[in-house]
Amino acid sequence: MTATQAPAQATFDSLDPRTGEVVGTHPVHDEATVHAAVARASDAAQWWADLGFEGRRGVLGEWRRALVRRLDDLARVVAAETGKPFDDARLELVLTIDHLDWAAKHAGRVLGTRKVSSGLLMANQAASLHYAPLGVVGVIGPWNYPVFTPMGSIAYALAAGNAVVFKPSELTPGVGVALADSLAEIVAGRPLLQVVTGFGETGAALCRTPGVAKIAFTGSTATGKRVMAACADRLTPVLIECGGKDPLIVDSDADLDAAADAAVWGGMSNAGQTCIGVERVYVVDDVAEAFTAKVVAKAQALTVGTEFGPMTMPAQTDVVRRHVEDALAKGGRAVVGGASSADTAFVEPVVVLDVPEDSTAVTEETFGPLLVVNRVPDVDEAVRRANATGYGLGATVFSAARGEEIAHRLRCGMVSVNSVISFAGIPSLPFGGVGDSGFGRIHGEDGLREFTRPQAVARQRFALPIAVTSFERTSTGMKALLGLMRVLRGR
């Protein structure tokens, strides 16, 4: 047990999915323990809010430097609990630290008190706006990017002046504990970031706990709906970051080498277990053959266990196999791998062409190293198909001339043009989806505001000669106001 964990009754093990070895043993925190953590966090939240933007920036800067110093140690825990290659884990840490830096440096500018125009009718008022912290934010995270994903909420919530209680996935509790411990060393004795560990029930308890001002959830759409339902009881606001079925569109004038590289990296890295990973490719007919040949060559050159690891959650292998089988049964053609590629947790790369759009390989999140490549007559049809799922998280477009124009036609939260997943690494860009992919935003200015309540203040500077919001109001006064309205707004 560590300084950031409370005592608990039962325990569970986190395992290395590559070997099955036990990485760590953690408490299963029950409802009472979660309540106690939130109560402690309330005190820390007050202290933290009182520090102000500059004070918090200093502490978060210290934390950032500490994370850089122990980057490799943390990456080892990430690699052990997820099974991903060490360098992928390090990359995750690098991007996370950059976000933490941005959030800490920009919180004052984005959230601090600012004057706004009071308008002609209310010219006697001084109007100002500021964004106050919410108090205690509950963060529930997934296992696939166990640092980057929850830190999209944690770093921004902290920079905005909140304390956080974090429930990591049951598959990656050690990562959560290591993260919280690294901050605890800097804010000794202040439970600013606490971790509660356990299964879904521990997360559910966090949603029900009084004193939680907001829940930031990242995970599957099915669990997101349960979280929202649990939060409804107390009207606890929620931020919901769920899965996706992200498309990649290849236009006739695209750089095909770069597009193929992006498709294979976007689809296969982290064994395809990326919410914003490429799952569907729509390539325009006249370049389809050349593009597909490049994708096949690159995918065939990958070795599972080297370029990417096993399925972190063993049951996911069955989902991948079912999607491949469905794609093939409906007429798709496997050009790399096949259904037998998904026999063990170490799923081999699979590329299937010409998959009907009603196949589960097109309609449902696969979360494995399966790439569907479908030809389309033109970009209009690519856009139509890209927009035809309930999900709407990210997308990728390869086009020399009209990348941004195509991007604007896509129904999703984020688009990379002529590269893949790049929006996630740009701290000033908001991250989040629409439809079944959820709502609300982490990252960027929107991500900071997400963890605040806007407060509007109107201060009267002088009384107007005509009082219209008073029982002393006269008909002459009203006539004058209406006359002014006709002159000002009636034209």
Which residues contribute to the site for ligand NDP (CB under 6 A)?
140-145, 149, 167, 169-170, 199-200, 203-204, 207, 218-220, 223, 226-227, 241-244, 275, 365, 367, 393, 433
Q: Which residues contact 55 (CB under 8 A, 6 or more apart)?
A: none
Minimum CB–partner distance for residue 464 and ligand NDP (Å) = 49
Nearer Cβ to ligand NDP (136/283): 136
Nearer Cβ to ligand NDP (4/218): 218
Question: Which of 207, 242, 275, 412 is an active site residue?
Answer: 275
Minimum CB–partner distance for residue 46 and ligand NDP (Å) = 26
> Residue 289 catalytic?
no
Nearer Cβ to ligand NDP (131/148): 148
Nearer Cβ to ligand NDP (226/385): 226
Minimum CB–partner distance for residue 454 and ligand NDP (Å) = 24
> Residue 170 catalytic?
no
Question: Which of 241, 364, 365, 450 is an active site residue?
Answer: 241
Nearest Cα to 233, choosing from 248, 247, 212? 212
Nearer Cβ to ligand NDP (191/413): 413
Minimum CB–partner distance for residue 275 and ligand NDP (Å) = 3
Minimum CB–partner distance for residue 163 and ligand NDP (Å) = 19
Nearer Cβ to ligand NDP (48/166): 166
Minimum CB–partner distance for residue 42 and ligand NDP (Å) = 21
Q: Residues with catalytic annotation?
A: 241, 275
